[in-house]
Amino acid sequence: MTSYDVARVAGVSQSAVSRAFRPGLSVSAKTKDKVMKAAKKLNYKPNAIARMLITQRSGMVAVIISSISNLIYPELLSRITDQLSSRDVRVLLFTLDEKEQLAELLDQIWTFQVDGVIALTAHFDHEDIARFEEHNIPVVLYNRQVPDHPANTVCVDHEQGLKQLVDLLVAGGNRRFLVLSGPTESDVANERRIIALRHLSRHGIDEVPVAYGDFSYQSGKDCFARWMKDHDAPDAVICSNDTMAIGCIDEARDGQGLKVPEELSVTGFDGIHAAFWTGYDLTTVRQPVNQMAKAAVDILMERVENPTVPPEKRVLAGSLFKGSSARS
């Protein structure tokens, strides 16, 4: 079923059919009516692929996500998809687990002529960003920045969030700390670790040990277990994200027999749903996920409409959630 078939049945030209299906184009009510009747009869739907080819706009945005062991990603994906849907844009989903796959993934993105990209994960250097500019595809990075290069970014305010978190912990009498960081390949992990250590240092707490996991529940559990093998329990564990914090709590309680928060404070970051489950009730910094998703989509679509708008960085404040996983 093509627009020609509809045109024939409706007794109009093919271009009339095309016009009838594009909003805001000059067609008389009578013609439009004839076209719509014929279209319904033939069960005709315009072919989006052909439209993409001619308009040079795919109506699709690539969303890059990594494996779902970090529970913040599905929540973000969900919000971003909703935001894009409401603007009548479709999501082409890409997952990226290994750094090496990035080049291949980018190739796919070019060939698919997506209108834009939202990257929830992956490290982008200025060369990658330059390639996007070359291809004229706007990109928005989530919670990460490109060193020495302006880029569209929406970030939670790590500085402010972690300051509040650290202040709270210190005020609660915690003195001996352990930082449970995400992997050093992760921009987010590095930022959160460095900022946390800096704020601890401002309280005169230095030489804080760091253990490294991969943002997953299991790694939170394992890292803490490994640490406890040849160390005394610290007062508090500052985790790079909620998923690891939950793993750490489970290991503390069930593996090490420590009472949380009486004998051990544990904090997370993100504010995933599971963090608020009463079994954990995590002290954490909540990303304003809805607003951040909206900001990411707003920034992106503005650049899709008008490619000359310069890069923009938006930093949104997180909110400290005082759960019962930390003495405060």
Partner DNA sequence: GTGAAAGCGCTAACAG
Partner DNA sequence: CTGTTAGCGCTTTCAC
Binding-site ranges for its own copies (CB under 8 A): 43, 45-50, 52-53, 58, 60, 63, 67-69, 71, 73-75, 77-78, 81-82, 85, 90-95, 107-108, 110-113, 134, 217, 221, 246-247, 249-251, 253-255, 273-274, 277-280
Rounded Cα distance, 43 and 54, in Å = 23
Q: Which does 285 bind (CB under 5 to 8 A by kind): its own copies, DNA, none?
A: none
Binding at 198: pick from its own copies, DNA, none (beta carbon under 5-8 Å per type): none
- In this complex, which beta carbon is closest to DNA, that of residue 56 or of residue 308? 56
The SS3 of residue 225 is helix
| Phi and psi at residue 217, to the nearest 5° | -55, -50
Binding site partner of 31, from its own copies, DNA, none, Cβ cut-off 5-8 A by kind: DNA
- Which of DNA, its own copies, none does residue 18 bind (CB under 5 to 8 Å by kind)? DNA
Q: At closest approach, how far in Å is the CB of 104 from DNA?
A: 18
Is residue 141 a contact partner of residue 292, using CB atoms and an 8 Å limit? no
> Closest distance between its own copies and the C-beta of residue 1, in Å?
10
The item of DNA, its own copies, none sharing an interface with residue 249, based on CB under 5 to 8 Å by kind, is: its own copies
Measured CA to CA, the distance from residue 11 to residue 89 in angstroms comes to 33
153 or 216: whose CB is closer to its own copies? 216
Nearest-angstrom CA–CA distance, 144 and 8: 54
22 binds, among its own copies, DNA, none (CB under 5 to 8 A by kind): DNA
Helices in the chain by DSSP H: which ranges?
A: 3-10, 14-21, 29-42, 48-55, 72-86, 102-111, 126-135, 158-171, 187-202, 217-229, 242-250, 289-305
Instruction: Give me the least distance between CB of 129 and DNA, in Å please.
Output: 23
At residue 221, φ and ψ (nearest 5 deg) are -65, -55
161 or 213: CB nearest its own copies = 213
- Closer residue to DNA, CB minimum distance, 25 or 103: 25
Query: At its nearest, how many Å lie between DNA and the CB of residue 305?
Result: 14
CA separation for the pair 282, 325 (Å, rounded): 5
Rounded CA separation 70/241 (Å): 8
Across-strand partners of 321? Answer: 284
